[in-house]
Chain A
Amino acid sequence: MTSERRRVGAQAARRALEVRRRLGVPLTDPINVYDAAERLGLDVWFFDIPSMEGVYQPGRRAIIVSSLRPAGRQAFTCGHEIGHDSFGDGQQFDELVDDRTDARRFDLKEFRADAFAGELLMPKTTVLQGFNERGADPCTCAPELYYAISCWLGVGYKTLVHHSLKVLRIIDRARAEHLMRVRLPQLRHRILGQPCVAHLILVDAQWRNRSVDAKVGDRLVLPRGAQIQGQCASLVEERPGFTIAEAVQPGLGRTTIGDWSSVIRVSRKSYVGRARFRFEEEVNGGD
Chain B
Amino acid sequence: MLNDSARASAVTGIPMSEELRAEIAGRLRRAREASGLSQGQVARKLQLHRPTVSEIEAGRRRVSTDEVAEFAELYGVSSEWLMTGKIGGQNAADERLAVVARQLSKMSDADLDRLLGLLKMLRHSGAEDDV
Contacts and interface: CB of A to CB of B under 8 A. Distances in A.
Interface of A: 41, 43, 45-47, 49-52, 55, 57-62, 64, 88, 90-91, 93, 95-96, 271-274, 277-278, 280, 282-287
A286 B118 contact: no
Nearest to B90: A59
A91 to B, nearest CB: 5
B115 A285 contact: no
B105 interface: yes
B124 interface: yes
A59 B37 contact: no
B122 A62 contact: yes
Given A46-B36, A271-B36, A277-B37, A60 B105 contact: no
Contacts, number: 123
* 7 nearest A-B pairs in the assembled complex, by CB-CB distance: A273-B36, A286-B40, A283-B40, A59-B129, A286-B38, A95-B105, A61-B125
B36 A278 contact: yes
Interface string B63-76: 00000000000011
A284 B40 contact: yes
Contact of A49 (B39, B111, B125): B111
Contact of A91 (B37, B93, B122): B93
Contacts of A64: 115, 118-119
Interface of B: 34-41, 43-44, 50, 54, 75-76, 89-90, 93, 96-97, 100-101, 104-108, 111, 114-115, 118-119, 122-125, 127-131
B37 A273 contact: yes
Contacts of A61: 125, 127
B40 A57 contact: no
A280 B37 contact: yes
A52 B50 contact: no
Contacts of B50: 283, 285-286
Contacts of B129: 58-59, 91
Contacts of B96: 91
Given A45-B118, A49-B111, A59-B127, A95 B76 contact: no
A58 B90 CA distance: 11
The residue in A60, A90, A285 that gathers the most chain B C-beta atoms within 10 A of its C-beta is A60
B111 A51 contact: yes
A60 B127 CA distance: 7
A168 B46 CA distance: 48
Given A45-B122, A59-B127, 11 more contacts: A43-B122, A46-B36, A58-B127, A58-B130, A59-B93, A93-B97, A93-B105, A95-B106, A95-B107, A283-B40, A286-B38
A283 B36 CA distance: 13
B97 A58 contact: no
A47 B123 CA distance: 16
